[in-house]
Amino acid sequence: MEKPGPWPPRPQLDALHARYVVEVVEELSLCPFARKCRELGRLHRPTFPSPPSPHEAARRLADLATAHPDAEVVLLTFITRGAVPGTPPAPSPAERAFADTELFEEYVREVRDVYAGLPRVPARFYMVAFHPAYTRVDTRRPLTPDSLVPLLRRTPDPVIQCIRADLLDQIRRQAQTAAEARFREEMARLGPEFLILAERAIKADPELSQDIARHNFDSVGAGPGRERLEATIADILARRRALEPE
């Protein structure tokens, strides 16, 4: 793999982040709305070549949402030396903080709080950390839908995924409606008296994230799906590692 010129090598970095979205998130069906969002031009990736303050990151998100009212997914991307496992430590303390998964998660919480406190924000967003150094929390325990999640979020650089809240709320309502319909159908098969009970005490899973986690675990938690996931992410991270400056 060819070594880059001046840092940061934006075309190569942009290509790797695009690969993650298409080859991991979309082609492995890890997110139910990712492909449509990208194809409609509602996915944006502001890139920071050096670590910004929480206020700078929150302000960038607010400005983008104002300029693009239809934005649904915003990937705040932080080009960080030393974040990929197997690379030398970053030369600056700020980058070293971003390279640490726990410190980066603290930073995400700060950005979330700052954004919530901005006056007249154009839209609400749910924010989640993605990081190239994520690993399994406890390798001694069997993999579960929850413990698989960090392994799916290994991006080439630290990223804050910001999903428009009203989009997720709409999809959550659709998921609840579908779950209720399935429950009613099952009860109806048992007899009319069971259907009446179902109508009185229907219980649908309100957590879209749990539905997605279960789906992803079924798809890539083991077998060929898991092998494809690991091979794709390993190749992306290897190419990202090769871009590190000498």
Q: Where are the domains of the chain?
A: 10-164+222-241
8 Å CB contact between 161 and 17 = no
Q: Residue 73's closest CA among 104, 118, 35? A: 35
Lowest mean pLDDT among 12-16, 136-140, 179-183, 237-241: 179-183
| Nearest-angstrom CA–CA distance, 54 and 60 | 10
pLDDT for res 83: 96
8 Å CB contact between 243 and 9 = yes
Rounded to an integer, the average pLDDT of 30-36 is 85
Kindly give, in sequence order, each residue whose CB lies less than 8 Å from that of residue 42, ignoring residues fewer than 6 positions away: 68, 70, 71, 72, 73
pLDDT at residue 177 tops 80:
no
Residue with tokens 């999903």: 163
Residue with the larger pLDDT of the pair 209 and 193 = 209
Main-chain dihedrals φ then ψ at residue 162, nearest 5 degrees = -115, 110
Both structure tokens of 79: 């080009």
Question: What does the mean pLDDT of the chain come to?
Answer: 84
pLDDT for res 172: 63
Q: Which residues pair with 128 in a beta bridge?
A: 161
Query: pLDDT tens digit string along 229-245?
Result: 999 999 999 999 999 98
8 Å CB contact between 165 and 134 = no
Record the pTM.
0.83
What residue type is assigned to position 161 of the chain?
Q
8 Å CB contact between 231 and 75 = no
Q: Identify the helix (H) or strand (E) that includes residue 57.
A: helix 54-67
Kindly give, in sequence order, each residue whose CB lies less than 8 Å from that of residue 125, ignoring residues fewer than 6 positions away: 61, 65, 74, 115, 162, 163, 164, 165
* E strands present in the chain: 43-44, 47-48, 73-78, 125-130, 159-164
Main-chain dihedrals φ then ψ at residue 82, nearest 5 degrees = 85, 5
pLDDT at residue 5 tops 50:
yes
> For the chain, how big is the Rg over CA atoms in Å?
20
Q: What are the angstrom distances between the C-alpha of 41 and each of 73, 74, 107, 164? A: 10, 11, 28, 14
What residue type is assigned to position 24 of the chain?
V
What residue type is assigned to position 80 of the chain?
T
